[in-house]
Amino acid sequence: MIHLEEIRKSYFMGKNALEILKGVSLDIHKNEYVALMGPSGSGKSTLMNILGCLDTPTGGKYVLNGQDVSKMDDNSLAEVRNKTIGFVFQQFNLLPRLTALENVALPLVYAGISKKIRQEKALHVLDMVNLTQRSHHKPNELSGGQSQRVAIARALVNDPALILADEPTGNLDTKTSYEIMSIFGDIHSRGNTVVLVTHEEDIANHSKRIVRLRDGIIESDRPTERMSNAV
Ligand code: ADP
Ligand code: ADP
């Protein structure tokens, strides 16, 4: 699903280049569940932006679903993004004037899908995150956990193969964080590939594989160690 080969990313400030990713090679197969960890500044967001086709690397190769996306122009990248990837953010990023249902259905408006089908699909994914009963509420009437569930439903509504989540529990208390992680577990069980960034070990432990970045390179990459009392 994801093939990264010697990915490099530099930012240029005047004459100076600052290299943030220094040759990252990584393969993630379909239906893997990966947590990306690492200290602040290690390049996690930069790598997620590349994985999400929001940005292109300055060196190396990125093949997503068999397509080389490393040198695509912005329009082609946007197309790949809309078809293949669902995003979840720390800040939920919901539109405040729209109901939960309307927020979830929004990606389908851009895809030119009829209103009836949009409603059906949006209700279906809201049901997947157990939020059907809040579908007509606006973001300011929802708790943090409910808001994040709406955001997850929105990420799922296009049926993307890959879900990318950047610190999805960063604004949530412990109990709510675990509820959200259980939903990511469900999504993974249904066949999605999930990659999430977190700096909390407890959150990363819900995944199956932990990749650690440090100073722009992969420091370690191993299966998640389950505590002996875990199911
Ligand atoms: P992390 O997500 O692991 O905290 P980031 O990928 O956000 O790391 O950032 C890595 C480094 O890249 C940081 O030092 C940050 O200041 C720098 N950086 C990120 N984006 C830009 C940019 N657009 N221009 C210049 N430097 C940037
Ligand atoms: P799956 O990955 O199969 O969807 P989860 O990751 O949601 O399952 O984990 C199943 C249960 O095990 C959850 O209740 C989760 O909190 C718990 N769990 C997972 N990893 C650990 C761990 N390292 N320590 C303690 N509990 C864990």
Distance from C-alpha of 202 to C-alpha of 90, rounded to nearest angstrom: 17
Q: Which among 122, 204, 139, 194 is positioned nearest to 165, based on CA atoms?
A: 194
Please report, rounded to a whole number, the percentage of residues in the chain having pLDDT higher than 70.
98
Return the ligand 1 atom nearest residue 43 CA: 6
Using a 10 angstrom Cβ sphere, with 0-12 exposed, 13-18 middle and 19 or more buried, the burial of residue 1 is middle
Contact residues for 10 (Cβ-Cβ < 8 A; gap 6+): 17, 18, 19, 20, 58
Among 3-7, 110-114, 174-178, 224-228, the range scoring the smallest mean pLDDT is 224-228
Amino acid (one-letter) located at 210 = I
- ipTM field: 0.61
Substitution site in 45, 55, 167 for ligand 1 pocket (most atoms within 8 Å of beta carbon): 45
- The first and second tokens of residue 98, run together, are 């729209």
Q: What are phi and psi of 132, to 5 degrees?
A: -55, -40
Using CB distances shorter than 6 Å, the residues near ligand 1 are: 11, 18, 20, 38, 40-46
Against a cut of 0.90, is the pTM above it? no
Beta carbons of 137 and 171 less than 8 angstroms apart: no
Return the ligand 1 atom nearest residue 13 CA: 25
Q: Write the pLDDT tens digit of every residue in 50-90.
A: 999 999 999 999 999 999 999 899 999 999 999 999 999 99
Residue 228: how many other CB atoms lie within 10 Å: 5
Q: Which among 46, 61, 48, 51 is positioned nearest to 7, based on CA atoms?
A: 61
H helical segments located in the chain: 44-51, 74-84, 100-110, 115-128, 144-156, 174-189, 201-204
Q: Is 206 in the pocket of ligand 2 (CB under 6 A)?
A: yes
Q: What are phi and psi of 205, to 5 degrees?
A: -65, -15
Q: Write the pLDDT tens digit of every residue in 159-187.
A: 999 999 999 999 999 999 999 999 999 99
